[in-house]
């Protein structure tokens, strides 16, 4: 199974987890979990299976979507974290988060023209 990858998004942006498995059959149970519990039907998440690719898509993230997401296929599972930030993050901060470094958000205001 190709593992899910952790993600960091800004609130309002979409988030998509994908996982590729060696084989999917119609009788194979596939379950998506959020923090260890099955996703509720009214979660707003879109789940699909195309060939051997399993996808969980959150069209417009909110802060409460921040969680650990898991896909369980038969006896195999993969887990990844979703971080939803209410503020803008830089590419450098995003990279630091993904590589396990310090995650820091710096707020700045940029003024153009004469004061």
Within 10 Å of residue 9's Cβ, how many Cβ atoms?
Answer: 19
pLDDT tens for the chain, 115 residues long, are 899 999 999 888 999 999 999 888 888 899 999 999 999 888 899 999 998 999 999 999 999 999 999 999 988 999 999 999 886 655 655 556 555 555 555 555 555 544 4
Q: 36 and 81 in contact (C-beta within 8 Å)?
A: no
Predicted confidence at residue 88, as pLDDT, reads 60
Distances (CA, A) of 49 to 4, 19, 72, 86: 14, 10, 13, 30
Instruction: Give the angle 60-5-37 at the CA atoms, nearest 5°.
Output: 65
Its CATH class, for the domain covering 7-88, is: mainly beta
């Amino acid at each position: 199974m190709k593992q899910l990858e952790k993600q960091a998004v800004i609130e309002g942006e979409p988030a998509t987890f994908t996982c590729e498995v060696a084989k999917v059959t119609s009788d194979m149970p596939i379950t998506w979990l959020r923090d260890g519990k099955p996703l509720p039907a009214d979660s707003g998440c879109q789940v699909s299976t195309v060939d051997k690719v399993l996808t969980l898509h959150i069209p417009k993230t909110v802060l409460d979507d921040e969680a650990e997401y898991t896909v369980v296929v038969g006896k195999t599972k993969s887990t990844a974290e979703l971080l939803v930030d209410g503020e803008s993050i830089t590419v450098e901060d995003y990279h630091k988060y993904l590589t396990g470094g310090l995650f820091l958000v710096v707020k700045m205001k940029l003024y153009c023209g004469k004061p």
